[in-house]
Amino acid sequence: MLSVYIRRPHCFYGQYTVPLQRQDLCFVWDWRHNWLKCWLKLNCLVSLNFFSFKFRIHLIKDKDAIDHYLSMNIKGLSKQEAAAYRNSYKKNICIDMLRQGYHKSFSELFTLIQKWNALREAAGPGSAIWQQKSLEEQPDKLDQLHHFLTRAEAAQRAEYYEEVYNNQLKLAYCFNNTEDKWLRNYFYEQCLSTAQLIKIDGGKKESEAHANMGLVNEEQGKSVHESAEHYETFHQLTLGRMWNDETADQMLENKEHQQAIKTLIKAFEMAKKGGDKKMEGEAAYCLGLAYHSAGEEQTAIIVINVTEAIEYLEKFVTVAKSAQLSRSLVDACISLGDIYNERGNYYKACEYFNQAFEAANTLTDLPLVDETKVYYGIAKAHNMMVAVNSHTDAADHVSIEYLLAWKENRSDMCTDPFTVGKTLVMKLFFLFPSVFFNEKKNDHTAV
Amino acid sequence: MNVQELVPLALPRGRPLSCELCGGPAQLRCGACHVTYYCDVDHQKADWVSIHEKICQLLIPIRTSFPFFNSEKERKHGMEQLLHRQKHLVDFTHKVAQKFVFEGKHEEAIPAALHSLRFSIDTCGPDSVELVPAYLILAEASTGLGRLTQAEEYLSQAQWIVLKTSDCSNGIQSKLHRNLGLLYAAKGNFEESLYHLATDIYFASCAFGTHDISTSGGYFHMANVFFRQNKMDIADSLYTEVTDIWHAHFSRLIQVQSQTLTTLSCMLFIHLKCFILNIDEAQQAEASQVLNAILDIREQAPKQQPAKTANVVHALAMLHYLIFDFPKASHVTVTVCDPVIQDCIRIFTTKGAELRLHKLKLRDG
């Protein structure tokens, strides 16, 4: 039994005693007045007079419990989270960076955005840049910037500059599209300044950075001088360094060859324009070498590459001769000789090895002299192998006489083409006896 | 300080006089202005030392009742004048309070800040943005005194006002968050503190740029938090940033000054006085506090970094030079005994020393 006070404006007011069951009532807690309202099935509002007092006390207690329960178990939004929803994405990212102490990344990002806005303002409405979206409105780009910049800064704090460089380079690659050219260029510049701090890798990164800067300058159509400068620094740095790096991944190496050749050609052209003989020679030499090493690995394009390599190396030899660069002359001659040797042009090979030998003699560097000597000898031997083979193949009397005469008389004879390289042929005999045994057999059968 | 005893019973009814500081019933009156009341000598003394000495006479026209004006125009003019005076007092008291806070005299800052708050309420109403700076100073002083609950109360007031005002300036928001950051740092809640300091730096950068001296304060406090968290590398990089900002700022000032000097070299020394205005007092106090703190940390660090220390010392020397404190400027450079640092400084200051000599000559001649 419940004593209820029924309010129903146009029907009846008054206190009634109504027999009620639980399911007849729909309880609603009125938060404003802190009392319980319930709806009867009669569809009228009932406020509990007599019982409500008890209910109220009970339920208020309950309400505290509910609050406690909610605060413990259901996480609402903290002030920070609420602020995060209210703020722009850019602001959130900035605050996030700063909280972790990445203040340099923050100021970099901030200045970049400001710079872009300034550029846009300067260009005015109607220009191309006016139509573009601001960096602030592109969360994915902001994310990328945030990720790499913070990592670069962490590495910088630990003075691990290679990591810094890598991150900056990645950023530059991220923005490698027409719209974000300015960002890419900016990060290339940063790369260059970082690369200058790296000392361990022997200037590889620096040369890479210089090459990138050369590219940027060239694209921007700045003075030829500036990009030429970058390319020249690049190639000076690469000289004799980059190619020694055999530990590097083979795949990467291959890729780099192609890139390097491209840049080297540019460097060579720049050097030609610059009119510096020495530079030009060095560039040509480098290019030759690059082709040479690339050609060894990729037989498919060997012909084109080797001929080009020869061309550049020969150019270099002539330049080196006139510029009195004995050391590089020796190197170039050896490479040239090597190439001719491989291609079977032994006569030319002999010639170049001979040149190398002479140049080495003037240098008074004994190991070098020995090396060139051996090369010369090998070339000579190869040269002679042709003659020996032709004689043995001919298998007529005169040839055999010739061979026998040579075998008996092992002194140096200027007239006889065999004798000069004979010692080396003997060496070859020990190395590849089968060749000679076959010859002997042929001899017997001929006899 | 002029004390006048009051007899509360002799006062007119219905107009209770309350103490300037605590609001309790008044027993004393300032004998110089006759419009300021106190409950005891201690409060009067505190007020006198802090602000009353400077504004005693300015209070008279504000607190005495209006003379009778004959025309509407005059009344209007009178009201405007009153408002103008009050605004001036708001600015002045605020500046004084700020200076005290920068100098670390928190106890003395509170009466001045209270005055600032009261005058702002009088002029702008109880929930306008103009109250925020006053609340902030009060909070800062309270934090400095270790009254954290009090400080939190003030800051909550300020934050509520800022939240309600949608177009609040970046500068004010930055200050608010800086104070919140400091409060949480004092409470030892570093995460919260870092969040607020980061927000501060963001707003300050929006308002002034990332490499402005107004932003450097945020960096400095953040560095302190990281320092206390024992993240030395981050703290170190932030300290370097702060030093660089001040260093660049002073260098720029000195450059401007030297240019003006060379053009006006025949002028009298008195004319040079105007250069002092290059740095106002609050800035000066902040600079010396920040730089000295950094110098201490650098000197006590287990790993010495002479170049960075030298940079700090050079900035300090420039500061002293700019505020015409010549003996101190040379003193600072001499006290650093490490020969390496000495060397660095010599390189750094050669130009500064020339300027200094130049200026001294001017003063003599």
Residue B127: predicted pLDDT: 81
Task: Check residues B239 and A211 and name the one with the higher pLDDT.
Answer: B239
pLDDT band at A5 (very low <50, low <70, confident <90, very high): very low
Residue A42: predicted pLDDT: 44
Measuring CA to CA, which residue among A22, A6, A3 is closest to residue A14? Answer: A6
Residue A249 clears pLDDT 80, i.e. is over it? no
Chains A–B, number of C-beta pairs less than 8 Å apart: 50
Residue B265: predicted pLDDT: 52
Residue B93: predicted pLDDT: 92
With contacts defined as CB-CB under 8 Å, which chain A residues touch B199?
83, 95
- Measured torsion, CA atoms of residues A108, B218, A98, B234, in degrees rounded to the nearest 10: 90
Residue B111 clears pLDDT 80, i.e. is over it? yes
With contacts defined as CB-CB under 8 Å, which chain B residues touch A97?
198
Does A53 contact B at CB distance below 8 Å?
no
pLDDT in tens, A84-112: 787 888 888 898 888 888 998 999 888 88
Does the distance separating the beta carbons of A95 and B198 come in below 8 Å?
A: yes
Residue A41: predicted pLDDT: 45
Does B170 contact A at CB distance below 8 Å?
no
Task: Check residues A268 and A442 and name the one with the higher pLDDT.
Answer: A268
Residue B198 clears pLDDT 90, i.e. is over it? yes
Percent of chain B with pLDDT over 70: 82
Residue B222: predicted pLDDT: 92
Mean pLDDT confidence for A144-150? 89
Is the separation of the CB atoms in B265 and B362 below 8 Å?
yes
Residue A261: predicted pLDDT: 60
Mean pLDDT confidence for B212-234? 90
pTM: 0.60
Residue A200 clears pLDDT 50, i.e. is over it? yes
Q: Name the residue among A80, A103, A158 with its Cβ closest to that of B238.
A: A103
Taking the CA of residue A176 and the nearest CA in chain B, the distance in Å comes to: 27
Residue A411: predicted pLDDT: 47
Q: Name the residue among A94, A99, A157 with its Cβ closest to that of B233.
A: A157
Task: Check residues B283 and B158 and name the one with the higher pLDDT.
Answer: B158
Residue B287: predicted pLDDT: 85
Does B245 contact A at CB distance below 8 Å?
no
Residue B201: predicted pLDDT: 92
Residue A224: predicted pLDDT: 54
Taking the CA of residue B319 and the nearest CA in chain A, the distance in Å comes to: 25
Task: Check residues A353 and A9 and name the one with the higher pLDDT.
Answer: A353
Q: Name the residue among B195, B211, B231 with its Cβ closest to that of A99.
A: B195
Selection from A17-26, A283-292, B178-187 with the highest mean pLDDT: B178-187
Q: What's the mean per-residue pLDDT of chain B?
A: 81
pLDDT band at A161 (very low <50, low <70, confident <90, very high): confident
pLDDT band at B337 (very low <50, low <70, confident <90, very high): very low
Residue B64: predicted pLDDT: 83
Interface of A with B in 65-84 (CB under 8 A): 80, 83
Q: Name the residue among A95, A103, A158 with its Cβ closest to that of B199.
A: A95
Residue A27: predicted pLDDT: 60
Residue B281 clears pLDDT 50, i.e. is over it? yes
Q: What's the mean per-residue pLDDT of chain A?
A: 67
pLDDT band at A373 (very low <50, low <70, confident <90, very high): confident
Percent of chain A with pLDDT over 70: 50
Residue A214: predicted pLDDT: 73
pLDDT band at B202 (very low <50, low <70, confident <90, very high): very high
Residue B24: predicted pLDDT: 85
Taking the CA of residue A128 and the nearest CA in chain B, the distance in Å comes to: 26
Does the distance separating the beta carbons of B202 and A95 come in below 8 Å?
A: yes
pLDDT band at A289 (very low <50, low <70, confident <90, very high): low
The residue of chain A nearest to residue B221, with distances taken between CA atoms, is: A101
ipTM of the complex: 0.74
Task: Check residues A182 and A257 and name the one with the higher pLDDT.
Answer: A182
pLDDT band at B362 (very low <50, low <70, confident <90, very high): very low
Does A42 contact B at CB distance below 8 Å?
no
Residue A16: predicted pLDDT: 46
Mean pLDDT confidence for B234-252? 89
Task: Check residues A315 and A284 and name the one with the higher pLDDT.
Answer: A315
Does the distance separating the beta carbons of A158 and B238 come in below 8 Å?
A: no
